[in-house]
Structure 1
């Protein structure tokens, strides 16, 4: 019986432990001490201000939660000795693109040589989820049919409302920034593995890319693993959010394998509507309305989530992810990290903090929340807290 093993990768920003300001240079003693504890589970990223952790292949959400909790605990413990903290969010609220520095590796040098400022000026962090697919030839077909669900997964993860010290008006600005790179966004409409391999081979033969890892789609077949890799999601501040989103993606993959009719008639019209849904996920997240691809009518996020959960119910039982699904239902009520960041920011502004002071406090709170693995108390927040209001939505 195929177990649909999965793995989770989280990208973190490295920050000054006191101010939570981003560190443009990777502290080598800190990295050496952390890698001594975490080994291959910890790697560098293209920018020195970021690192990545990756779980081994897993079969249970409980194990995923334990792994990610351990990684963050180790990074926090080591960081106390080196004045370094970590932040899990799609963007660092104060990071400045022009201050970023490349990690010295041959692969990264080639990427930056090709991308220029687009590569260096892109400090964003994602949640990546790999799910094992039983038949390699099915990965591209399943990828094609799962694209309509990507905006829903993105909306659940939004954690990037700020960019360069300013509120963007979006809950998920990371994807907007990521669009500056080539070979990003939704995968092309390849219907089988042969078409996908022809595409990659053509780019490799032309000297444009070295291999398929330079294809940075929101959902892609992995080159190193027998998996589909979800990449559209922001890095989640709360570990339980990451694990629950991974669980839903795992259930969707299993459902797509067992139901070949799912989105089998996905067309150019559907793709255009899904692109609109992606924009709405970036802008409004769980507060938005979306286009239903069957009725072509608007539907609230909560109704959409409920219908998807009902669709994958048999797989929820099979995979043992009932608790994760219950957690997912709580996210729209509580708000994503982006909602909570903005609430804190607005509350501080209401009580006289300057924009810079307010964002600085939000950033410090993101550090403590990241390292705790869940949202912590807001130490400097005024007693009268702002009540969360859905963002204004237009259909």
Structure 2
């Protein structure tokens, strides 16, 4: 993909050059490390959280999961501090009842008890979607970027489509299932494809067309409500944001910060394009699906598909193209040095999936991988 710079080397920028606000939702597993099994103890963990940590916590679709949500942040320092504090608080609450908070995209061993919070909506989901709703728990990283105009938010989602497979590859962090390597860097992505309302964001000409399509899908039973729009980018149903939800939960705070910074810069970049009259690329659906499948399979350690051309390229070629594309927005926000450093670390150490595999290659024991992941989640592990 081309970076899309003008002839003088500069991108068109918006009149308002202030950085966009953003925030992150992180989903975590609650594990029993000795057995490797998920633990259905979310109620107990959440009950132990106090103050801001309690306000930032959420139930999820499994009692073996919790979600921690940052407040609206203005810069990477604030975001990093919020992520670190919420992870530490949640990990402490879990440890107090004998569980470990683990940032991993998919259940790595087993979920012996498929349990969920007592809520009518969850019961409706299970009745509607059957065994798909009873898969083992999955954990994502959802980045919200403030876009106050909903019409603009729909257009932003159109423009993001070619680049979300690259974000997916950067965030890949779930190679194991049933204690074995699946061959995929993001097994979460493969499991989630069973949901009929999940996948690449469709192209919409307007917010009205978006709303009409969602209502038709609700009528068809593909979704129960607007909260079940699970596309990889969407105008949030709750906040004045675009929500990008393609990445696995990040193994470390630093990994989460890099993903969030890239997403914010990508949204800022495509807003510049929209206001400059640049149309969104019209992609073939088959190539876009192929690009996401390849990102789930290879992560950063193989090849990715350019959905604009269908060309198969080394993953880092497209990652470098993305960083070049959003470089001006990163610079404006003051994020460029942190992102460059983070990308160099990923280039050296590998994605979250590769780091897990490295531990497993060294010891041959999935439990060593779980111990490693628990340490990475709160920054207390050894590299």
> So what's the TM-score if we normalise by structure 2?
0.89
Q: Bigger shift: 359-368 or 251-260?
A: 359-368
Listed as ranges, the matches of 1:159-308 within 5 Å are: 159-204=173-218, 209-260=223-274, 264=279, 266-269=281-284, 271-293=285-307, 297-308=311-322
The equivalent of 2:350 in structure 1 is 335
Q: How many residues align?
A: 365
Contact 2:154 2:207 in 1 (8 A): yes
The equivalent of 1:390 in structure 2 is none
The equivalent of 1:58 in structure 2 is 73
Contact 1:218 1:230 in 2 (8 A): yes
The equivalent of 1:371 in structure 2 is 378
Runs of 5+ in structure 1 lacking a partner? 350-357, 379-395
1:345 to 360, 376, 379: 360
Per-residue deviation at 1:31?
A: 2.2
Aligned partner of residue 91 in structure 2, secondary structure: helix
Aligned partner of residue 220 in structure 1, secondary structure: strand
Q: Does 1:73 align with 2:78?
A: no
Cα shift readout 1:318-368 (whole Å, capped 9, x = no counterpart) = 11112332112321321111101111112223xxxxxxxx11221122112
Q: Structure 1 residues 28, 296: CA separation in 2 closer, same or farther (over 3 Å shift)?
A: closer
Aligned partner of residue 46 in structure 1, secondary structure: coil
Q: Does 1:322 align with 2:336?
A: yes
Q: Structure 1 residues 176, 305: CA separation in 2 closer, same or farther (over 3 Å shift)?
A: same
Q: Distance in 1 between matches of 2:256 and 2:356?
A: 17
Per-residue deviation at 1:210?
A: 4.6
2:129 to 115, 127, 137: 115
Q: Structure 1 residues 361, 197: CA separation in 2 closer, same or farther (over 3 Å shift)?
A: same
Listed as ranges, the matches of 1:2-81 within 5 Å are: 3-16=19-32, 19=34, 21-26=36-41, 28-35=43-50, 38-81=53-96
The equivalent of 1:361 in structure 2 is 368
Per-residue deviation at 1:20?
A: 6.5
Aligned partner of residue 232 in structure 1, secondary structure: strand
Aligned partner of residue 244 in structure 1, secondary structure: helix
Q: Distance in 2 between matches of 1:360 and 1:294?
A: 41
Aligned-residue CA RMSD (Å): 2.1
Runs of 5+ in structure 2 lacking a partner? 1-15
> So what's the TM-score if we normalise by structure 1?
0.86
Q: Distance in 2 between matches of 1:262 and 1:377?
A: 49
Contact 1:161 1:173 in 2 (8 A): yes
Cα shift readout 1:184-214 (whole Å, capped 9, x = no counterpart) = 0112222221111101222445666453111
1:132 to 135, 140, 146: 146
Per-residue deviation at 1:237?
A: 0.7
The equivalent of 1:82 in structure 2 is 97
Q: Distance in 2 between matches of 1:20 and 1:314?
A: 48
Contact 2:200 2:288 in 1 (8 A): no
Q: Bigger shift: 32-41 or 188-197?
A: 32-41
Q: Structure 1 residues 264, 63: CA separation in 2 closer, same or farther (over 3 Å shift)?
A: same
Per-residue deviation at 1:87?
A: 0.4
Q: Distance in 2 between matches of 1:308 and 1:244?
A: 13
